[in-house]
Amino acid sequence: MSKKKKRTSNNNSGVVSFLRKPAGQVTVVALVALVVYLIAASSGGGTAASTQAREISVDQAYEMYQAGTFVVDVRTQAEWDEYHAPNTTLIPLDELPARLNELPKDREIVVVCRSGNRSQEGRDILLQAGYNATSMAGGLKEWYAKGYPIEGAPQ
């Protein structure tokens, strides 16, 4: 007489069977990706940089400017000489990575340029370096058009 081996019941056999199927594998990968995304979206240590808007309107920038927020202009020296907002700091975009030490780490920074494109690049450089930065949409052209303070005049 031959003895048949009894199969022991494995409570995890349903899970293993599920994971052997492509649909199960895709489900697990999707779930892991979702968890990673949620962690990344909520991380940043709750710093102001993680909660501040990445781009603000000219009106919002002017309010922040009036409240004493640090404003850095990333245009060229020639553009700055033509016109600029008073009490702002010029650091041309191509010099920004090398001059980060001139910017305050403990204050909000609004990055501005002529039309708003270079300020986005400047903001991204600052964010990657750990600064609390946002960019101004519309640029100093719109700032001037709204009648906000300017030294010089656009030509």
Per-residue pLDDT of 44-62, as tens digits, reads 444 444 445 699 999 999 9
pTM score > 0.75 for this model?
no
Residue ranges per structural domain of the chain: 13-42, 48-152
Q: Is residue 141 among the annotated active site residues?
A: no
Q: Is residue 37 classed exposed, middle or buried when 0-12, 13-18 and 19+ CB atoms within 10 A define those classes?
A: exposed
Chain-centroid distance of CA 119 in Å reads: 12
Per residue in 15-48, pLDDT (tens digit) is 667 677 777 677 777 777 777 766 665 554 444 4
Annotated catalytic residue within 110, 112, 113, 126: 113
What dotted CATH number matches 48-152?
3.40.250.10
Q: Copy the structure tokens of residue 130.
A: 């750990």
Q: What angle do CA 103, 106, 107 make, to 5 degrees?
A: 75
CA 119 to CA 126: how far, in whole Å?
10
